[in-house]
Structure 1
Amino acid sequence: MKKLEIRNKHLALRKSWTQEEWQMRHEQLHQQVLSYLKSLPKGTIIFSFQSIEGKREVDTQLIHETIAHSPYEFQLAFPRVEGEGKMSAYLVHEKTSWVRSAWGILEPDPITAKKIEPNEIQVVLVPLIGFDLQGHRVGFGKGFYDRFLSQCQPNCLKIGLSLEGPVQQIDDLHAFDIALDVIISSERLYCIH
């Protein structure tokens, strides 16, 4: 399937879910993510994302709260778009202020958060609309994450979060598309690499 077809199909599917089904999928995903994160070393820097309101994306708020209060001393970092098509990473803490971007996404205020380099991050939680069994993802088509992931260390663990299962294969990949290592869905874990 082509990316546009996958994007349209999955966005329509998300809109068709009842609130109860939406909630159930999030609860299942939350449990899968927390179970997986327990295997990470203490103090791991996890780069995550804030959901876009109104897009019915994975709601990461409960995951963030659990990570922030876990005994594993994980550190959370979030993206901030700075310049044309470039995301920067900022470590956050309980006193970090947030500002809403032009896309309606909450980003850390650089005055109250610490900027870090992508190569300092050990784990990236990646938003996606759809994915295939080879670890390729379909996002919103802007390329922010592929550019960011290309700056991370080769051994950085790239984890996609999904409320749906995979398609067999994405047919229109680009040379700059970066495959994920693991995809955690509400139903199961997919280890790709």
Structure 2
Amino acid sequence: MLKAELRKKYMQKRKALSIDEAFSLSEKIFENFIYYFKPKEAEKVHIFIPILARKEINTQIFIHYFLKHNIRVFVPKIVADQLINIEIFADTIFETSSWGIPEPISNEDSGETFFDYIITPLLYCDDKGNRIGYGKGFYDSFFESISKKVKKIGVNYFNPDENIDDVWENDIPLDYLVTPTDVLSFSGESE
């Protein structure tokens, strides 16, 4: 199936979830992530902040856990059409962007290029790790700029059941996908 068709299909499937279902599934995804990856103190996690109105995975659950366990947290922010990485703390002040995303007020890029994990937003991921986002290409550019050793992890409510037919040569696949029921590895590595 083509990206545009899959994007539309999975936006509809996500929209059909109730708020309670989305939260419950987000909790299961979080539990699978913690159980499988076992993040440790001082590790660095890059994680998106959800647009809850679009029923994105509620990564606030992850962020609270990471901060409580002294795991360093970095979030993306789009500044001048570039994705930058900002380290956040329990007292970081946020404002809502024009896209409805809570973002740190700061525009100071951390300059960090190595993370232990990058938890990546997506609408769909196939069984080869190819992901479909909102089509802006920010994460593919971001993946190009970081260490190749970083674990790129998608989170989704749905398991892969269809191939993406129009994968582009600049698309960078994920290493893992975490769903409410599974953790899938595409990198050939196991934890």
Structure 1 length normalisation: TM-score?
A: 0.90
Deviation at 1:20, TM superposition (A): 4.1
Instruction: Give the counterpart of 1:76 among 73, 78, 82.
Output: 73
**Matches of residues 41-120 of structure 1 in structure 2 within 5 Å?**
41-70=40-69, 73-84=70-81, 86-110=82-106, 115-120=109-114
For the residues of structure 2 that align with 1:99 and 1:27, how far apart are their CA atoms?
25
Query: Letter of the aligned partner of 1:8 in structure 2?
Result: K
Query: Letter of the aligned partner of 2:181 in structure 1?
Result: E
Match of 1:128 in 2: 122
Match of 2:135 in 1: 141
Deviation at 1:24, TM superposition (A): 2.8
Secondary structure at the aligned position of 2:163 is classed as coil
1:100-150 Cα offsets, whole Å, 9 max, x none, are: 222111111227xx6322413231100010010100101000001111111
Query: Letter of the aligned partner of 1:135 in structure 2?
Result: G
Is the 8 Å Cα contact of residues 52 and 58 (structure 2) preserved in structure 1? Answer: no
Is the 8 Å Cα contact of residues 118 and 151 (structure 1) preserved in structure 2? Answer: no
Is the 8 Å Cα contact of residues 124 and 160 (structure 2) preserved in structure 1? Answer: yes
For the residues of structure 2 that align with 1:20 and 1:122, how far apart are their CA atoms?
30
Percent of aligned pairs with the same residue? 26
Is the 8 Å Cα contact of residues 118 and 148 (structure 1) preserved in structure 2? Answer: no
Instruction: Give the counterpart of 2:150 among 143, 148, 156.
Output: 156
Runs of 4+ in structure 1 off by over 6 angstroms are none
For the residues of structure 2 that align with 1:117 and 1:8, how far apart are their CA atoms?
35
Structure 2 length normalisation: TM-score?
A: 0.91
Unmatched tracts of structure 2, length 5 or more: none
Is the 8 Å Cα contact of residues 51 and 60 (structure 1) preserved in structure 2? Answer: yes
Is the 8 Å Cα contact of residues 3 and 172 (structure 1) preserved in structure 2? Answer: yes
Instruction: Give the counterpart of 1:187 among 163, 181, 184.
Output: 181
Secondary structure at the aligned position of 1:76 is classed as strand
Deviation at 1:185, TM superposition (A): 0.6
1:5-45 Cα offsets, whole Å, 9 max, x none, are: 1111111112222344333312211211221231x454111
Secondary structure at the aligned position of 1:14 is classed as helix
1:155-178 Cα offsets, whole Å, 9 max, x none, are: 011000111111331111112111
Unmatched tracts of structure 1, length 5 or more: none
Question: What's the RMSD between the two structures over aligned residues?
Answer: 1.6
